[in-house]
Structure formats: C-alpha cells, structure tokens
Amino acid sequence: MTDRTPKYKRILLKLSGEALMGGDAYGINRQTIGEIVQEIKAVADLGVQIGVVIGGGNIFRGVAPAATGMDRAQADYMGMLATVMNSLAMQDAMRVAGINCRVQSALSIEQVVEPYIRGKAIRYLEQGRIVIFAAGTGNPFFTTDTAAALRGAEIGAEIVLKATKVDGIYTADPKKDAGATRFDRISFDEAISRGLGVMDATAFALCRDQKLPINVFSIFKAGALQRVVMGENEGTLVYC
C-alpha cells in the first residue's frame, strides 16, 4: 500500500495574481480559480495546514496605465487592495468547493475581512481551516513575495511553495533558450551567485536567514502541488 503521509504538514502557498487570469488580459478567470482551488483542496484533504498569499498584479494591471507616474507608496497601497479582492474571490471559490477558509488582512478593513492576528491565524490552521493572508505586509515598497516569506516564518510553515507558470527554476529562460535545463535542487547560495530570480531579494534573504526552504513549481500541472507536499521530485527545491 502506498504511503500517503505528506512530507510537509504546514505550508505557505504563494500564488501570483497573474495565475488567476487564465487566458484573460487581466482580472479573474472563474474557471482557472476553480481549478486552482481543487488543487489546494486535494492537499487540504491530506491534513496539510495551508496558508496562502496572493499577488494583485491581475487586478492592478487593469488600472496600471492610470497609475503611470503615481507616487510609489500610493500605487503600492492600490496593489494591496487588489490582493484583498483576489483573496475574497479565492475565499468564495473555496466556499463553493466546501472548504472552510478565512481571510486576514494586513490593512484594517474590518467590514470586509478580519485583521491579521498571528495567534488567531495559527489557531485557524490547527482547526483545519485555510488562511489567506491579504494586503501583503501592509507596508509599501514590500512585495507579496516578501509577505509570503514573512507570513511563512510567522506561522511556522515548513516550506514556502511559489506557484508559477513555469515548472521550476532553469539555468536560463526556457522560452528563449531551448537548451535551458531545470534544477531539481539548488542551494540559496548557488541561486544567489547565479543571479536566479527566485523571489525578490528581500523575500529570498528572509527565507534563507530563517532556514525556510522554497519550492518553485507550476500550479498549472495537474497534481503538482500535491506531489510537492508529498516530497516527490516536482519543481525546484531551494534549500539552505
């Protein structure tokens, strides 16, 4: 009988806003978000505790032309609100799928979502609920990659899973270089020395300092998230 015990019991899943677009130019594709939720549900059904951070690029892309020349901090706050919209959409998709989910925001919008409280988030995870962390870190100049690293460290996640459109980290851009090869594993130090853009520098440094590994994989490969959680060779593992 195959052992179905997950390798990781508590994870932080980082989704880009663009992952929710499907084939659309911007916004949220309902079918795509539903498929992503089913991938998450398969892992939650194994008893894995899941925290989620979602970017806001898909929403912000629609207003980006109007934001040209805008003050950076102001634009970043708009981006944080975009992540709240994505988080609410994800929560609703999880409701439809029968998943108990809570959204906590780093910005105070209590009429819409509850504020981020670390102890309450951990309690939700222990109760088997999925927790979506919205509004990034609540501060401008910090990306949702940094928010994922920060929340992952705060909740005691065993790994940060960065879900992308590419199935791992390559020696070069596989779309431009047919000879590019994928790393199965790579150390933080080697990734830095090679200049590989795994996450933004602040997030990457935080994960390295906290000895929090990262796995980069494609959320669009059926079953990939579950294979990562089970410890199978999927995507690229960045280790300390």
Does the annotation list 56 as a binding residue?
yes
Does the annotation list 138 as a binding residue?
yes
Higher pLDDT, 196 or 139: 139
Statement: the pTM of the whole predicted model exceeds 0.75: yes
Note the pLDDT of residue 1: 41
Q: What CATH fold (topology level) applies to the domain 10-239?
A: Carbamate kinase (3.40.1160)
Does the annotation list 140 as a binding residue?
yes
Query: What's the whole-number mean pLDDT along residues 58-72?
Result: 74
Q: How far apart are CA 147 and CA 63, in angstroms?
A: 22
Does the annotation list 61 as a binding residue?
yes
Does the annotation list 5 as a binding residue?
no
Does the annotation list 68 as a binding residue?
no
Assess contact for 233 and 173: CB atoms under 8 A: no
Length of the chain: 240
Does the annotation list 116 as a binding residue?
no
pLDDT band at 196 (very low <50, low <70, confident <90, very high): confident
Does the annotation list 227 as a binding residue?
no
Note the pLDDT of residue 64: 62
| Residue that is written with structure tokens 């990562």 in the block | 228
Residue 176, classified by CB atoms within 10 Å of its CB into exposed (0-12), middle (13-18) or buried (19+), is exposed
Query: What's the whole-number mean pLDDT along residues 110-118?
Result: 96
SS3 per residue for 141-205: CCCHHHHHHHHHHHHCCCEEEEEECCCCCECCCCCCCCCCCECCEEEHHHHHHCCCCCCCHHHHH
Element (H, E) at 214: strand 214-218
Q: How far apart are CA 122 and CA 228, in angstroms?
A: 22
Note the pLDDT of residue 174: 83
Torsion of CA 83, 54, 87, 97, to 10 degrees: 160
